[in-house]
Structure 1
Amino acid sequence: MSERGMSVRELADAVNDAVGRLTGRPAVTSERTVYRWLSGQNRWPQARQRLALEAVTGLSAVRLGFVPRGKQHDPVRLEEGSDVERRRFLGAAASTAAVTISLTPNASARPSRVGTADVVRLRAGIERLVALDDERGGHGLEHVALAGAAEALGLQERAATQRVRQRLFALATDYTAQAAWSRIDAGQLDGVEARLERALTLAGLAQDSERSMQVWNLRAMLARQRRHHHEAVAAAEAGLATAVARRSPVHASLAHARTAVCLAHSGQARPALRHLARAEDKLTKADLQQPRASWLVFYGPAELHSLTAIVHDVVGRPAEAEAASHHALAELGPAYRRNRAHTLARLALAQLHQGDIEQACTTSGEVFDVMAGTALPGRLRLLLGDFQRDLLARAPRPMAHEWTDRYRTQWSGS
């Protein structure tokens, strides 16, 4: 429930909706029933409730912590759940399962009442998009993200409760922001501002300060990529002023780190380093084990080290930038392939700025190894363009030309 952001009432509604998809009649699971599951007073719900819970969560009843009746049980058989009723039920309730990015069900199959099951399904879609972004970059995901936003907005007109309506607005914000990020990561900046203005409006309709911060964070990145550095600082500071950044250490840490990056690029080294120190302090106070919105899952020690590397390199401290990049690479999980490639490119720049040209060329080559089989996002190609420009300015001409010749095909053709 914490991972899905569901209340007791919402879980009861989702179970009732899932049962209704099979039987044609809504079930009568109450909040009291859910509390009995949570307390352990009811350790093995009724069959249809169990199957509805599995459809809503994508997990088996055993994995959810329920204990079958009787003394001896085969855990393999319990996990397989191969009985006919279970197969029939899960087939009928498949549209509620949180395991797909398919966004638009058959219109004739839509219930007249939109509830938590629809919120769960759409949330699974945005989580899948974020996972794809982590693995290969956000480029190319714009149309799917816009379809998700359109569906969320269409469903909110038939929301069962005001709380469901606000969650659908929040999901529409997530999808619209993901569409904007897709263009930012691709280096295609036209039309992004309109997407972000729309996302900010949707965040207001959702009454969700976290989504507002999400949008301001992207606006700061957009302005910095356009080299509108003072606008970037203003956007980052707007994110820092949101209610969620005031109450949540992890949000505050990201907001301070983003502000530090924007200040560094605007030539304000001392304020940038002060915000960086605040970002580090806030992160030490954050509980990173608590569930977070999908857009923020990426942020932790690895990302802070990566942003630290950018700040130090921009303000003329390449040795510190190199150290921070190594820390980031050590912390990054295997799912963050695009981020690893980006950090390697920053590491190569830091090494180049210290005059370690051969090592910098070797490190930059690892970027192509990491992203092998996947087109390089435009933002990463731009960073490699910065590396090539600085390499031409600092390295002997034959070495710089050798690097260009070696990676031209992968770089320009990605």
Structure 2
Amino acid sequence: MSELAQLRRAAGYTQETFVTVFAREAARLGVSASISVRQVRRWERESPPPLPHPVQQAVLEAVFGMPLAEMGFEVPLYRMTVASPIGDAEGVKRRTFVADAGLLAGAALVGTRAGPRMGAADVARVRAALDDLYRTDHTSGSMPAMARADAIEGEITTALGTASYTSRVGRDLQTILAELHGHRAWYGYDGGRIGRGRTACMEALSAAQLVDDPLLQVSVLETLVLLAIKSQRTWEAASAVEHAYRLAGRAGAGHTVHLVISLREANVAIHTGNLSAARRALSRAVSHQGRADTDPDVPQWARFAGPFEIDYATANLYVRAGQPKHAVPFLHAAVRGIDRDLARNSASYRVRLACVLLAAGEVDEACEEMRAVLDTYGGIASPRLSGRIRQFARAVARVDTAGARECGERIRENDLGDVT
């Protein structure tokens, strides 16, 4: 079996899917290059295989993270891939390199480490594992997601420190690492480990700055706002909002990103009791939501935002104003509108509704909502959600009705009823 065929199979591609992967990587690199299944068969069957065109070479090297010479091709000296001094304009323009032949043989794009190769296929696999953290967090909670995050971080840092890879692959891995630290920041918030969350935020911001990704920085800042509020650092939360607005403006971010920032601005204002500022922020959020369908692309971290988030924030505004009865219809709308795939947030919203109903004097309805949460709560490991249920248990214990006593007992049966 040819070296190229071994590489392809090790990456998990058939000849047909490899053609698709090649086209996707070419588009990502911004080059006009394509291959056919017939071309792949020729490369894998003939010895030596026909030499790819220069643009095809660039794509192949990006996909597999190694020079063309190590894929079984006989590559002329002038087509060997090594770094070229950027000051050598003529050398860059010609894409040719002048150096000692012994130095060029088998040289990698980045370093000559003895570790494994990392290519675009490996990046795609790690990216898929990172994306799966969203699903784990939303369906099972932050605790199991944190355990998976540990394994992913170990793989990324090991690869960055020991593997050989192209500069593009290296940047992609660092970007994923920055996003992973952002996840950890959220897990710190959800798990009540505010100090750990803040530390993860700082690591995520530094990593996002190193890869020069302003929208990734915005995603971290929106979590920092929540952490700063929890740690009573409202000045930090307000500064994070302002910086997020600046970064979003420079990056030309769409309405959905601005919607998220507006919601965080409302969080700060509600926390400080500045209800006029909160109403202005929510008005901006409504405006951005109304135009969000014009966004050509929405970052994954911002896709949770929608009308239900605005309804939820508006309810919090009324609660802060001491008007829980006015908050109830907005919470009902938020519970109805939230995506059912967001199981953790859906349960959290219903617990919040139960707490506000109880504060509004609607004891029976509040207990009904809480029973609905307990019926579906099962596999969600979220300390923040558990804490909210315990908060409801303490409040309902002060109500002397049969329904309230039964609800409190049901919570205790779920080991969530510490009312001391």
Percent identity over paired residues: 26
Give the letter for the 1:139 counterpart: M
Paired residue for 1:192? 197
Paired residue for 2:253? 247
Aligned counterpart in structure 1 of residue 306 of structure 2, from 293, 300, 303: 300
- Are 1:139 and 2:143 counterparts? yes
* 1:290, distance to aligned residue in structure 2 (A): 5.0
Distance across 1 between alignment mates of 2:238 and 2:397? 31
TM-score (norm 1): 0.69
Give the letter for the 1:296 counterpart: A
Change (3 A) 1:355 1:297: same
Q: Which has the larger radius of gyration?
A: 2
Distance across 2 between alignment mates of 1:361 and 1:350? 11
Q: Which deviations, in whole Å up to 9, do the C-alpha atoms of 1:142-161 show, x marking residues without a partner?
A: 24213323433443465754
Residue 285 of structure 2: SS of its match in structure 1? helix
Give the letter for the 1:386 counterpart: Q
Change (3 A) 1:110 1:248: farther
* 1:288, distance to aligned residue in structure 2 (A): 7.5
- Are 1:46 and 2:37 counterparts? yes
Paired residue for 2:185? 180
Distance across 2 between alignment mates of 1:32 and 1:352? 54
* 1:167, distance to aligned residue in structure 2 (A): 2.2
Change (3 A) 1:159 1:173: farther
- Judge which range, 284-293 or 128-137, deviates more: 284-293
Give the letter for the 1:181 counterpart: W
User: How many aligned residue pairs are there?
Assistant: 332
Give the letter for the 2:262 counterpart: H
* 1:398, distance to aligned residue in structure 2 (A): 6.8
CA contact (8 A) 1:146 1:179 kept: no
Paired residue for 2:217? 212
- Structure 2, unmatched stretches of 5+, are 28-33, 42-112
Residue 201 of structure 1: SS of its match in structure 2? helix
Q: Which deviations, in whole Å up to 9, do the C-alpha atoms of 1:86-105 show, x marking residues without a partner?
A: xxxxxxxxxxxxxxxxxxxx
Paired residue for 1:152? 156
* 1:242, distance to aligned residue in structure 2 (A): 2.0
- Judge which range, 157-166 or 203-212, deviates more: 157-166
Give the letter for the 1:135 counterpart: T
Paired residue for 1:327? 333
- Judge which range, 257-266 or 378-387, deviates more: 378-387
* 1:180, distance to aligned residue in structure 2 (A): 2.5
* 1:109, distance to aligned residue in structure 2 (A): 12
Distance across 2 between alignment mates of 1:137 and 1:271? 32
Distance across 1 between alignment mates of 2:325 and 2:347? 19
- Are 1:407 and 2:411 counterparts? yes
Q: Which deviations, in whole Å up to 9, do the C-alpha atoms of 1:161-210 show, x marking residues without a partner?
A: 44433322210011112123223212233422211111111111111111
TM-score (norm 2): 0.68
- Structure 1, unmatched stretches of 5+, are 1-14, 36-41, 51-107
* 1:273, distance to aligned residue in structure 2 (A): 1.2
Change (3 A) 1:109 1:182: farther
Cα RMSD for the two superposed structures: 3.7
CA contact (8 A) 1:310 1:346 kept: no
Distance across 1 between alignment mates of 2:358 and 2:114? 59
- Are 1:258 and 2:264 counterparts? yes
* 1:402, distance to aligned residue in structure 2 (A): 4.3
Q: How does 1:32-43 map to 2 (within 5 A)?
A: none
Give the letter for the 1:46 counterpart: V
